[in-house]
Copies of this chain bind each other. A is one copy, B any other.
Amino acid sequence: MRTSTPAQGRRGERSGNGRTAQALAAPFDIERYLKERAQLVEQELARLLPGAQGPGAVLLDAMRYSLLAGGKRLRPILVLAACEAVGGAYEEALSLACALEMIHTYSLIHDDLPCMDDDDLRRGKPTNHKVYGEAIATLAGDGLLTDAFLVLARAGHAATPPALLLEIIAEVAQAAGSGGMVLGQAIDILCEGRPAGLPMLELMHAHKTGALFLAAIRAGARFGGASEPQISALSEYGRAVGLAFQVVDDILDVEASTEQMGKRTGKDDAHSKVTYPSLIGVEKSRLFARDLRDRALRALTPFDERARPLRELATFVVERSL
């Protein structure tokens, strides 16, 4: 937000003295980057959702239990990285990033409920309803989702145009609601046990995982002062990375152990869920994920070295399984 100069302008200046090529060649420790950013996000999450005393303490405990249970924090990190890629100050997008993680966490709590996917393990710990019971788990999800919009409405800084923040709220709500993530989960549940082809699988993923990934990237970019062409390019990146993430998740469900993943694996097969490996096989799924990574990287061509984290993230998302 401090700098709203389009990336192109900066890139022009810097490539003149060769700094871009130099920066691109320098080593980038993605593991360390992810760890540092995740820590920043977790500090802010803990600040935004302090514990409570009194009769409602259990509700807040349940919300914090799932919110502060670790996880890769990919969505908030994408918010920060997209903000940075267009020249914004990522520190100022921290609340916005946390709102996306709160929405993601609510969706995990509700998806794990016995009436949904009925999971007992998440991020290496018992699921929310296993610890707090179904009623409080449902309410913890409701609380996180609602509070996320409070955080969003207050995510602006002195220089944030209120109209821009309204646009971000609308986009995030659309991506998370009945035309986005909630629809994806409904399709997933309605399709369980029924034969479904590739088009239905892509539709489900585009909504269930893709929509919030895309919203995270677009929100971060808008917040950082992105131009419309930049938002367009980053959306292409976001769609590709979001789908790649899901394809890899499907592969990991087949190949990784429950211990490695921190959640029950092999469950897609047990629930006879349609996945990329079940439709096109593991090898073709890998090739598809790599193709998506390449598509994501091509979309970033107009950006300078400040998009380096986004580039590294695309590769990380795909390589974590391969």
Residues of chain A touching chain B, judged by Cβ–Cβ distance below 8 Å, are: 49, 55-56, 58-60, 63, 106, 110, 113, 115-116, 133-136, 138-139, 141-147, 149-150, 152-154, 156, 161-163, 165-167, 169-170, 173-174, 176-179, 182-183, 185-187, 189-191, 200, 203-204
Contact = CB atoms under 8 A, between A and B. Distances in A.
Output the residue of A63, A150, A185, A186 with the most chain B CB within 10 A.
A186
Contacts of A187: 55-56
Given A136-B189, A145-B146, 16 more contacts: A49-B178, A55-B190, A55-B191, A56-B178, A63-B178, A110-B142, A113-B138, A116-B138, A136-B190, A146-B173, A147-B173, A149-B173, A150-B177, A153-B169, A154-B170, A162-B166
Contacts of A133: 115
A56 B183 contact: yes
Output the residue of A113, A146, A187 with the most chain B CB within 10 A.
A146
Contact of A177 (B146, B165, B190): B146
A156 B150 contact: no
A182 B146 contact: yes
B150 A183 contact: no
Copies of this chain: 2
A173 B148 CA distance: 8
Contacts of A182: 59, 139, 142-143, 146
Contacts of A200: 55
A150 B166 contact: no
Nearest to A148: B173
B116 A135 contact: yes
A176 B133 CA distance: 21
Nearest to A54: B203
